[in-house]
Chains A and B, each alone.
Chain A
């Protein structure tokens, strides 16, 4: 159990376009989902935390108007990179935390990541 999927697994887009990445918890409900970004040879950097039905909380330095996060249901969160530029090329990873009334609710389960390349 505790599987998180991401779609697409990789995407190439042109500069100036927008790209949407989906994160789904397949066999559990997630009240909280997290979005990370990872550049080559670097660690994961937390971008934002999203709670179902409310606005996302962004980490310092992350532009909320550029990285739109929607967490419309307990199993789906989306990250939209708006007006993407080559410097947005990165590996985007989501994680999901089960509902607090479930055992192991303190755990986070990570998706496989989405590699975005902006040309």
Chain B
């Protein structure tokens, strides 16, 4: 699976949009971009995933560049409860296969009041 690069930490003001970047320059055509987050001392939580089109759900939006070498996770109105480590993971999805999620170091997002 392709390796990802994320900034180690970011700050965001409460109520503002948080934009978390991720580089995955070696991504291949069948690999998806997944985002998870981990609030301190809890298990990771799925946020969103996409292949090449932009995706949006009730938690966030995922913007993937046309060449798919990078992506941005957008939390439109960050709250204090969004303070967490955010992981960008690239993984191929094969029907019926055992696909592993390999976590990198992630980005610690600190939402400031």
Interface residues of A (CB under 8 A from B): 4, 6, 32, 34, 36, 43-46, 49, 51, 57, 91, 93, 95, 97, 100, 106-113, 115
Contacts and interface: CB of A to CB of B under 8 A. Distances in A.
Interface of chain A: mostly helix, strand, loop or mixed:
strand
B42 to A, nearest CB: 6
Contacts, number: 51
Given A46-B100, A51-B98, A107 B46 contact: yes
Contact of A34 (B36, B46, B101, B104): B101
A55 B29 CA distance: 32
Contacts of B103: 36, 43-46
B43 interface: yes
Contact of A91 (B36, B41, B87): B41
Interface of B: 36, 38, 41-46, 87, 93, 95-96, 98-106
Task: Say whether chain B's binding surface is mostly helix, strand, loop, or mixed.
Answer: loop
Contacts of B42: 112-113
Given A109-B46, A112-B42, A43 B106 contact: yes
A70 to B, nearest CB: 17
Contact of B101 (A4, A6, A108, A111): A108
A106 B101 contact: no
B99 A106 contact: yes
Given A32-B98, A34-B100, A106-B99, A113 B41 contact: yes
